[in-house]
Amino acid sequence: EVQLVQSGAEVKKPGESLRISCKASGYLFNSYIIAWVRQVPGKGLEWMGTVFPGDSTTTYSQSFQGQVTISVDKAVTTAYLQWSNLGASDSGIYYCARRSLPGSTFRGRYGLDVWGQGTTVTVSS
């Protein structure tokens, strides 16, 4: 079964660092882009960025460029999203998801077909 399993909920203080994970299984991990999407409860979905495990290439939306780091460890088929200096505005639910067609470029007529269950991040003093 193709699945993405994310790490558990986190409660952090402002200024702390954090790394959450997205473990992939059931498919050829190196061939499919992984995307990260944020959702603030009651709000919509925000595109954060992507990583292509084949060569670890990352892309970021302007809103998240410099605010987070996306990475991947092919040896354990896991993608990561990390922060070095959390703020209250980073609170939300973070989803990883797989582009439905293999390849290194996200742009195209394909969507996100497999999603993780989401990781809730709460940043509060």
Contacts with other proteins by CB under 8 A lie at 35, 37, 43-47, 49-50, 59-63, 95, 97, 100, 105-113, 115-118
The nearer residue to other proteins, 41 or 75, going by C-beta atoms, is 41
Residues in CB range of 47: below 8 A, 6 or more apart: 35, 37, 61
Residues in CB range of 118: below 8 A, 6 or more apart: 6, 39, 93, 94, 95
The nearer residue to other proteins, 15 or 110, going by C-beta atoms, is 110
Least distance in angstroms from the C-beta of 113 to other proteins: 5
Match 């998801």 to its residue by tokens.
97
The nearer residue to other proteins, 14 or 110, going by C-beta atoms, is 110
Tokens of 14: 């402002």
Least distance in angstroms from the C-beta of 29 to other proteins: 19
